[in-house]
Amino acid sequence: MSKIKQLLLLSFMILPVFLLSGCWDVEGLENRELYTAIAIDGAEDAALEDRLRVTVQIPLIKNILPPAAGAGESQGPKFYTISVNAKSVGEALNMINDQVSGVLDNGHVKLVLLQEDYARGGVAQELDFVTRIPQLPKHANLLITRQTGEYILNQTSPKDLLPSLDIYQQLQLKNSGRSLAVAAWEFVKKLDEPGQDPYIPVLEYNEDNKTFELNGLAAFRHDKLAGILDTNQTRFISMLDHRRNDSGLEIPLPGGREAVFRVVKASSRIIPQNRQGSNFLITLKVHASISEFNFARPKLTKKEMERLQEQAARFVKEECQQVLSSIQALHADVLLLGLSCHAKYGKDFSYVDWREKYGRADIDLEVDFTIDRGEAYF
Amino acid sequence: MTFPEKTSLRPSMYLVLIFTAIIGYDMLSNPLVSVKALGNSGYFAPLAAAVPVIAIIIAMFALQKRFPGKSGVQCASLIIGHVPAVIINLLLIIFWRVFAALSARDIMTLVSTQMLLKTPLWFFSTIGYLGIMYLAYHGIESISRFVAFTFIPATIIIIIVFCAAFPYIDIRQLLPVLDFSITDLIKGAFSMSYLYFPLILLFLITPYTKKLPSARRFTMAALALSVLVFLIQNICAIGIFGTSGLNRYTWPTLEFAHVINIRYIALEQIGVVLLTVWLVLTFGAAAFNYWGTALALSQLFPKISYKMAVLILALPTGLVLLLPQNIIDTRFYLLIFERWGVLAFFGHPLILWLIAVIRRQGKES
Amino acid sequence: MGFRSRGGMTPIGPDPVGNAANVAKALGRATDLVIRKIPRDDCVKGDAAADARDGSSSVRAVVLFLEGLADEEAIRRHIITPLLADAATAAAAAGTATAIAHFSAANELSALKSSTHETLEPLIDALLEGQVLLFADGCHTGLAFVMPGWSLRPLSEPPSEKAIRGPREGFTETLRENIAMVRRWVRDPELRVTKMQIGTRTHTDVAIMYLGDVANPDIVAEVRKRLAAIKIDAILEAGYLEQLITDSRTTLFPLTQATERSDKVTSAILEGRVAIIVDKSASAIIVPTTVNELYQSPEDYYYDFWLGTLLRVIRLIGNNLAIALPGLYIALAAVNSELLPTQLALNIAASRLGVPFPILLEVLLVELTIEIFREAGLRLPSTVAQTLGVVAGVVLGFAAVQISIVSNATLIVSVTTAVASFSGPNFQVGISWRWLKYFMILGGAFMGLFGIVAVGCFIVAHMATLQSFGVSYLAPWAPLQPDALVDAPLRQPLWLKFRRHSTWRTKNRRRMGDTRGEDNP
């Protein structure tokens, strides 16, 4: 067949396909409602069939771009929220899609908020939608809210940003210390794996300062919220769980003094001592730099440095042991001790009744604290 | 205008073609199979499956050495007689084509789920298949050029994406390393052997080179590179999601690419980048596959040229592509082919070579 | 082969006036044909008896030329004046057949190049080429002198292939000037120049240039064969030849490379490729060509390795942006928006508020407008081009955004694409990429990112089927040629270019010896 005929045949085959098509997936961005946060609360009347109250925060795109130079005035609210009652999150999203003028777009979800009280009842089925919608970012961050998610999503941020983006940015920039970011995929993975319990940071709206604050960590026992750890405990969890701690560390010293450390890097190793999972040794190596003494002492001698390191190690050990006791009491294996046991003993280790065994396990802690920089510096 | 179509292949092209054929076939969902057999140590499964494949490759090249200039289809006629060879080869071709079409359907479902939710499957499948047919129609020269052109950038991007996933691995989910029995290992090897089915195409392209030993070395290198990619991929998938967590996803490799979150990168999600790059490799692999089948058919029935065979195969392939209702149907049928395929695709060349050796047929070196 | 091909072998008679009349008749009594008769010496003296005789015998010689093609001053100085001066001595030879050598003796006619013919047809061809004809009384042969006198354009930099560094010499419309330019670069006896004429009516001179000991003889033979096979009435520009000798006539990818730069042609010849230069055309054709050549410039080698590499990479990025950016923009803004950073997605959505057209139509509208501006800009008088460019581009764009016909985002994308399309060193290639851009736009609009991938695969698949005079179009990437890959897209350091690339399958690959001196280990 000649080349021209081939080309004609090919065009004849391809062209109608295009002409008959309707660009099914095409929808301009201006016609999409990109919701950036979704909050799942329990309905006010729990007896109702529609037991969930789902709220989404949708940016108002007409107010997104800054006003032209010289316009002066603020543009108006940057977002609006829609709340519905439904049996499931999927149903709620369908209902919200019917209410908005554009097409609800799942591709830019940054935050998934779960109300604390509701989370105590279990969240596995509520989070099923996270992994079923391919366009939904798997790294959307989960947060537990003390107030209702609906209330939180209706508050504004002091910065000229969408509140959900503001909170997300805070989590991404820090992701350490008090502000641990937990992605949705991580949470769901821990639900699927035996013996692994997730944790989620806690978000609160401070009405006095009009700011969003990350205060603490919610520890889960499987998919049920077991308890909340405070901000101080959160820092030590982050050290034990191989995270950075940019928020620093304050070590109380005798005589009412205090040493403040920054750039605290911790690496921990969980060493199971037996295959039953009843005894663990956790070694924690901490490196930090002094940022302040609250007494005038620009230069430390070698002996003073060593004493300070010992005092810091002791303090960290005490605090960590308290935290470990707290999470054991909750029977929430957020540090994945069970996984460490399985990693060492394989099939010889059994996850049966693991949470009970975990609550009774003896956990020894060894802390090695090293001060990287002790000199006064500017 | 006056330069005729060349069908010789440099030995180095074997590396590119075979690697693309293997990786472009199933890179996204094999961790599901590997963890079923070997649990936490599932990353050993592709490695274990590759060991017997080495023997198959050696057998194929040995067969080519005995019958120089003859492809596998042509050898069969000389070894077991014309009529049995025609029957067996025809069954093999049909089996392979249906298998390839089902695999393509799996990929189309993936595209539909991840990228084009509302667009009808037949629409973009038709577009994709027309392109594959176009390339296959122009022969191995064009296919090898396409594959050579896309091989380096695509492989580099895939490896970069895999490496970007390393920080998300929890090493404890990969341990203990050797926590399986020999039986488990054999089962794992058997269940993962489907990854290397595209090697059957070696049967058809090996006569295109005069430098057999060199081509064999490059084929082994392609196999080694594929195993490395599968190893890294399984380590990432199991290390990130764990053995139970993996089962939530239909395409775990893509999902672990989705979890990568790099601040300040131009794109919000990396997973789709991996998918698009892999689709390019798949395009080349599918064209190679299609051409191979057409060539086999044309060798079986010499009156049909491979170009005509490309056109003849179009409609049946298209029908099989659109036959399954959904991914569950597709995977169900694929499983059957994956089990029986070991006999068809690996057994066939091995048995032919054994018969040739026992009956002392062909050139003995 | 010109006039001769129409048949007929008219012998030249002894009567110069009769011969001249035959020539005039063949040219349809063209008004630009100048016939200058050189009378006999006795006729000049006004011999009435001689005047009364038949006019032919009173004429000693006839000079013919076409006005505007021949150098009239040279004719006067080198032909007419010597002939007139010779009239007196020739009078002594009146009545005898004067041998042609008598007229072409060096001390009589000082024209440099001449040829003699015994039939009229080749002389008419020579006349049409701008040569000067001379018929002598009693001679059965005619002389043709090469004395070109048509206007020549001065050398200038090619407007579509500007360079920051490097020679500013571009080809002109005169074949011999262009050949001479290349000869000045390559002072090697191995430089072969073969001429042929193509075009039954235009008889356009075409020269093939290559290095005899380097270029692949198969490629050279193929070039000759394809040129010889052309049967056409006119070759007005090198582009005609390009279209007629290309390997694939239906592809939109250029399988030959056209350039107006002499350094580019020289560089290609030295690599082992073949150049085709066409008379009356400022463009030369270089074959074979691969896609790798289309973004390279000889200017890359005038700088050091770092700068040369950077320039190439920028050009490559520019070329790719020119093809893919609008399609990607549509795919990401209308189909796969989850890939865009959230803030960017919101900004684009905000900028598109109020635009009445769907994004595909909007992009096509802006692209079409820019194409129209581009074409109009080529033909605008230079005095108004700049002003109109500002008015059309800036004011119109601004106004269109203000009343929301188009969005800012689309305008940014389209303008960036337009500018990026000029990043390549070759204007013709930029036009090919424009076509690809529309395919990408359609692919992105219909199927989002998958459409971009599909169209991209189609394009590469099509390129994989192409070859240029036996060389794969995707070389050196496909087939993989490691020795040539070091020069694509990076620029290989000059001091490492020991061998020619294997892409062109040259006879002689050695190019350079050790360039290190004693002080530079």
CATH number of the domain within which B179 lies:
1.20.1740.10
**Within-domain flag for B240:** yes
Strands A52-59 and C33-39: unpaired
Q: What is the pLDDT of residue A259?
A: 85
Answer whether A62 touches C (CB < 8 Å): yes
Question: Which of C339, C446, C448 has its CB closest to that of A18?
Answer: C446
Q: Please identify among residues 428-487 of chain C the ones whose CB lies closer than 8 Å to any CB of chain A.
A: 442, 445-448
Q: How far apart are CA C499 and CA C115, in angstroms?
A: 44
Residues of chain B with Cβ-Cβ distance to A138 below 8 Å are 255, 258-259
- Indicate the pTM of the whole model: 0.87
Least confident of A177-191, A245-259, A324-338, B160-174: A245-259
Q: What is the pLDDT of residues C99-150, one digit of tens each?
A: 444 555 434 555 567 788 889 988 988 888 888 999 988 888 888 888 888 7
- Domain ranges (residues) in chain C: 2-145, 175-289, 304-472
- Please give the backbone phi and psi of residue A218, each rounded to the nearest 5 degrees, phi first: -95, 120
Q: How far apart are CA B167 and CA B170, in angstroms?
A: 8
Phi-psi region of B242 (alpha: psi -120 to 50; beta: other; left: phi over 0): left
Residues of chain A with Cβ-Cβ distance to B269 below 8 Å are 137
Q: Name subunits touching A (3+ CB pairs < 8 A).
A: B, C
Residues of chain B with Cβ-Cβ distance to A108 below 8 Å are 268
Answer whether C219 touches A (CB < 8 Å): no
Least confident of A35-49, A321-335, C19-33, C97-111: C97-111
Answer whether C405 touches B (CB < 8 Å): no
Distances (CA, A) of C453 to B118, C287, C441, C445: 18, 31, 12, 12
A302-321 mean pLDDT: 90
Q: Which of C315, C322, C321, C352 is nearest to C334 (CA)?
A: C352
**Within-domain flag for B2:** no
Q: How far apart are CA A224 and CA A212, in angstroms?
A: 24
C165-176 mean pLDDT: 87
DSSP A176: B
Is the pLDDT at A68 greater than 70? The verdict is no
How many Cβ atoms sit within 10 Å of the Cβ of residue C371?
12
Strands C257-259 and C284-287: antiparallel
CA dihedral angle for residue C407, residue C410, residue C416, residue C421, rounded to 10 degrees: -140
Q: What is the pLDDT of residues C333-359, one digit of tens each?
A: 999 999 999 999 999 999 998 899 999
Judged by CB atoms closer than 8 Å, whether chains meet at B268 and C340 is answered as yes
Q: What is the pLDDT of residues B109-149, one digit of tens each?
A: 999 999 888 888 888 888 888 899 999 999 999 999 999 99
Is the pLDDT at A293 greater than 80? The verdict is no
Measured in angstroms, the CA of B304 and the nearest CA of chain A are apart by 14
**Within-domain flag for B3:** no
Regarding an ipTM greater than 0.95, the answer is no
Judged by CB atoms closer than 8 Å, whether chains meet at A26 and C342 is answered as no
Q: Please identify among residues 196-255 of chain C the ones whose CB lies closer than 8 Å to any CB of chain B.
A: 222, 225-226, 247
Judged by CB atoms closer than 8 Å, whether chains meet at A339 and B261 is answered as no
**Within-domain flag for B88:** yes
Residue to mutate among C460, C485, C490, C505, with most B CBs inside 10 A, is C460
Answer whether A319 touches C (CB < 8 Å): no
Measured in angstroms, the CA of C30 and the nearest CA of chain B are apart by 43
Answer whether C333 touches A (CB < 8 Å): yes
**Within-domain flag for B120:** yes
Is the pLDDT at A23 greater than 90? The verdict is no
Q: How far apart are CA A144 and CA C157, in angstroms?
A: 70
By C-alpha distance, the chain C residue nearest B137 is C465
% residues pLDDT > 90 (chain C): 38
Is the pLDDT at C45 greater than 80? The verdict is no
Answer whether B258 touches A (CB < 8 Å): yes
Judged by CB atoms closer than 8 Å, whether chains meet at A18 and C442 is answered as yes
Per-residue tokens: A111: 């935050």
How many structural domains compose chain B?
1
By C-alpha distance, the chain A residue nearest B260 is A139
Q: Which of A54, A227, A219 is nearest to A129 (CA)?
A: A54
C16 in Cβ contact with C61 (< 8 Å):
yes
Answer whether A22 touches C (CB < 8 Å): no
Q: What is the pLDDT of residues B12-56, one digit of tens each?
A: 888 999 999 999 988 888 999 999 989 899 999 999 999 999 999
Q: What is the pLDDT of residues A343-362, one digit of tens each?
A: 999 888 888 888 889 999 99
Q: Any residues with CB less than 8 A from the CB of C376 and at least 6 apart, and which?
A: none
Q: What is the pLDDT of residues C396-427, one digit of tens each?
A: 888 888 888 899 999 999 999 998 988 877 77
B278 in Cβ contact with B154 (< 8 Å):
yes
Answer whether B175 touches A (CB < 8 Å): yes
Residue span of the structural domain in which B256 resides: 11-358
Range list for CATH 3.30.300.210 in chain A = 231-378
Question: Which of B3, B146, B279 has its CB closest to that of C461?
Answer: B146
Q: Give C90 or C301, the one with higher predicted confidence.
A: C301
Strands A199-206 and A141-145: parallel
CB half-sphere exposure, C387, CA atoms < 13 A: 4
Residues of chain A with Cβ-Cβ distance to C349 below 8 Å are 28-30, 32, 34, 61, 64
CB half-sphere exposure, C156, CA atoms < 13 A: 8
C17 in Cβ contact with C59 (< 8 Å):
yes
Judged by CB atoms closer than 8 Å, whether chains meet at B267 and C341 is answered as yes
What 3-state DSSP class applies to B52?
Answer: helix
Q: Does domain A231-378 have CATH number 3.30.70.260?
A: no
Answer whether B305 touches A (CB < 8 Å): no
Q: How far apart are CA A45 and CA A68, in angstroms?
A: 47
- Widest distance between CA atoms in chain B: 66
Q: What is the pLDDT of residue C168?
A: 84
Question: Which of A25, A106, A137 has its CB closest to that of C448?
Answer: A25
Strands C142-145 and C191-198: unpaired
Give me the total of CB pairs closer than 8 Å, taking one residue from chain B and one from chain C: 102
